[in-house]
Structure 1
Amino acid sequence: MDQMNSILLCIILLILIAVPTALSQERPMAPALLVFGDSIVDTGNNNVLITSVRADFPPYGRDFQGRQPTGRFSNGRMPSDMIASFLRIKDLLPPYRTPDLEDRDLITGVSFASAGTGYDNLTAEIAKVFSMWDQLEMHKEYKRKLVAIAGEATATVIIRESPHVVFSGSNDILATYFFTTLRQKTFDVPSYINYLVDAATDFVKELYSLGARRIVVFGLPPLGCVPMSRTVSGGKNRDCVETYNQATVLFNLELSDRLKQLNVDLSGSRIIYVSIFDIIVDLIQHGPDHGFEETSRGCCGTGEFEASISCNEFSPCTCPESETDKYLFWDSFHPTERAFNIVITAVQSQFLNVFRIQGE
């Protein structure tokens, strides 16, 4: 059976290599890429929803191909695209809910992510977006479509051998806990972090039950240093908010520990935790060393509070296109394409551990 699966995987990869793309003709590192989470990895799924958490209008996408806003929460490409590219799968990762999705898109992977969501179902309810559990239902539907296209055996191999990337938790901590305070009535910070990590653990277990074996879970950035946090709770100097950063560090530590245990508990799995906290702290503290002249405000509008619908073509003070790369943040939550690229490039070695055999 293992030999047959290996043969199927080779056939899949040969088919992908034969498809003309803008990428190098080197062999793809995986059959597909499947992504779950929030606005950091949403490439346009929220476009089909009636929600204020959207980015399918200018100036979002002003540096994207064709200068088109696609629902990506930045001026250009997102981590989903960049990961697909460095894995030599394809240049752009389409959203699963796009109406013009093609069979080839399904075979090589999609993003199920929904901006505004989190591990806490309340977070998605507030934002009126797809929950993380809705995304699991999309994955089930995706597999049925994949089976119809490629057959049961090939679909199983694609899902088993493809990285399943998860990025979530920011909206839970910032929006649901600190900004709206809705969860503060029930939880203190440590207990809420434990609640989120329990949910993240359940999510990874469910992915495993659906056939995923290579799973990459990203930790969170320093949430107290995003422009919106500085504006809301950073005082007159808009300093980083230490309380938010401490909650983030606690979440990252507990999540990392839990994922290590899952690697032991889930037979045949390769589950990787990817840390980005220190990388982004370095970009903030030493911005000029990396070519960033502004690290506390976004490019869009004043850069202090604008995001989603408040970041639009009528927002005053938006930085000129020629200066976008000088900004670490695009809006008050999301980095610029250049900043995203620096982060993803920095974690490639961590990410590639998902392909290593246990014990190496």
Structure 2
Amino acid sequence: MASSSFSFSFSFSFFFLVVFLHSCSASAMPKFPAILVFGDSTVDTGNNNFISTPFKGNHYPYGREFPGQISTGRFSDGKLVPDIVTSALGIKELVPPFLHPSLSDEELRTGVSFASAGSGFDKLTTIASRVIPVPQQLLYFVEYIKRLNKVVGEQDAQKIVSGALVVISAGSNDFLLNYYDLPTRKQQFDVAGYEDFILGKLQDLIQKLLDMGCRKFLVAGVPPFGCLPIQITAQSINITDSSRVCVEEENEDARLYNSKLMRLVKQLQESGQGSKLVYLNIYDPLMDMVNHPQKYGFVETKKGCCGSGLLESGPLCNRLTPPCANASQYLFWDSIHPGEVAYRVISQFVVDNALPRFLS
């Protein structure tokens, strides 16, 4: 009886969250004509499907909870935060990848994702993975503007770009792949120095986007690195459940980076240019899910749903590594990426705390 009651309570809460997100778009939310997304796998809706890289999520079991159970290239069991937030804003239901060969004129008008799973601000981060570094995503944005000009005319294209919500979500791979795991940057920088290096790249990106007409930015911080299942596995002497704890040193690095990013966003906001920049805190919502799993219906927060949950991600999460039976009970879908339930919690945080600041 207790188990049944819990299941009903969680299902009701989840239903309420979906209704809440959609109802918020009606009046209290700011209005954007489009969404433009730059970053990594947290916001890549399928661009990696169309480039030569092993970092793809276009195969089973990815997309198991997506409408139609389609493996779209999203690194999750379902939708990502840009999809959920864009739907809540009433722009459209899903954010398409810019590189999709069948991208329609209407999709161009309402926005796309330029993001690439495995990407980062540092070009060295993507050398081995052969994905699209964030600075190179700007080249696709240039192409986007040219195509948009042809569809709606230069004047209307400029209005779309200036009014669009620009989402930037990257940085984790720079630390996970290119600092903790590879020696090159670690030989050049201490952690604080590398954080400043990455933030310099981010500042350059925002300035170039400003120069190209963008004015409204939602800039995401990084998650608690040390709580990602793959990082816990890398630091664990053994892999018993009782020994799996977050790596506090890496979480401290993430907190320091985020505090610097908050200051940078405030500095850029105060510099003017008619822009609005909002910092998105994703660290705290994820840590709350880790520390208080029962609030969200989770029973596992230290392993992913796919396979063993210890290492599987991307090409290693496949038909040979079947997923858990109930992904909604897992914070993480694979060893790196949250599942759709967690992304919906973060989306609610965006709706509650970040988007209203565009009205002030």
**Would you call these one fold, judging by a TM-score over 0.5?**
yes
SS in 2 for 1:126: coil
1:26 Cα deviation after fit: 5.5
Aligned residue number for residue 354 of structure 2: 351
SS in 2 for 1:98: coil
- Summarize deviations over 1:53-80 as a string: whole Å, max 9, x none: 1101000011111111010000011112
Match of 1:166 among 159, 165, 168: 168
User: RCO (CA 8 Å, sep 6+): is it higher in 1 or 2?
Assistant: 2
Aligned residue number for residue 327 of structure 1: 330
1:266 Cα deviation after fit: 3.5
Count of equivalent residues: 332
- 1:130 and 2:132 correspond: yes
- 1:79 and 2:71 correspond: no
Letter in 2 for 1:133: P
Task: Give the whole-Å Cα distance in 2 for the aligned partners of 1:355 and 1:144.
Answer: 27
- 1:284 and 2:290 correspond: yes
Percent of pairs identical after alignment? 40
- 1:315 and 2:317 correspond: no
1:354 Cα deviation after fit: 5.0
Task: Give the whole-Å Cα distance in 2 for the aligned partners of 1:26 and 1:257.
Answer: 32
Match of 1:294 among 297, 300, 307: 300
Residues 234, 240 of structure 1: 8 Å contact kept: no
Letter in 2 for 1:238: R
- 1:188 and 2:193 correspond: no
Aligned residue number for residue 108 of structure 2: 106
Normalized against structure 1, the TM-score is what?
0.89
Task: Give the whole-Å Cα distance in 1 for the aligned partners of 2:162 and 2:304.
Answer: 39
Residues 225, 240 of structure 1: 8 Å contact kept: yes
After TM superposition, the runs of 4+ consecutive aligned structure 1 residues lying more than 4 A away are 23-28
The unaligned stretches of length 5 or more in structure 2 are 1-21
SS in 1 for 2:135: helix
Task: Give the whole-Å Cα distance in 1 for the aligned partners of 2:163 and 2:344.
Answer: 25
Residues 214, 354 of structure 1: 8 Å contact kept: no
Residues 224, 240 of structure 1: 8 Å contact kept: yes
Evaluate the alpha carbon distance shift between residue 182 and residue 234 of structure 1 in structure 2; reply closer, same or farther with a 3 A threshold: farther
Aligned residue number for residue 253 of structure 1: 259
Task: Give the whole-Å Cα distance in 1 for the aligned partners of 2:26 and 2:195.
Answer: 42
The unaligned stretches of length 5 or more in structure 1 are 1-22
1:177 Cα deviation after fit: 0.3
Q: Which one is further off, 347-356 or 71-80? A: 347-356
Residues 278, 358 of structure 2: 8 Å contact kept: no
Task: Give the whole-Å Cα distance in 2 for the aligned partners of 1:249 and 1:171.
Answer: 16
Residues 118, 126 of structure 2: 8 Å contact kept: yes
- 1:305 and 2:307 correspond: no
SS in 2 for 1:127: coil
1:184 Cα deviation after fit: 0.8
Letter in 2 for 1:30: F
1:126 Cα deviation after fit: 2.4
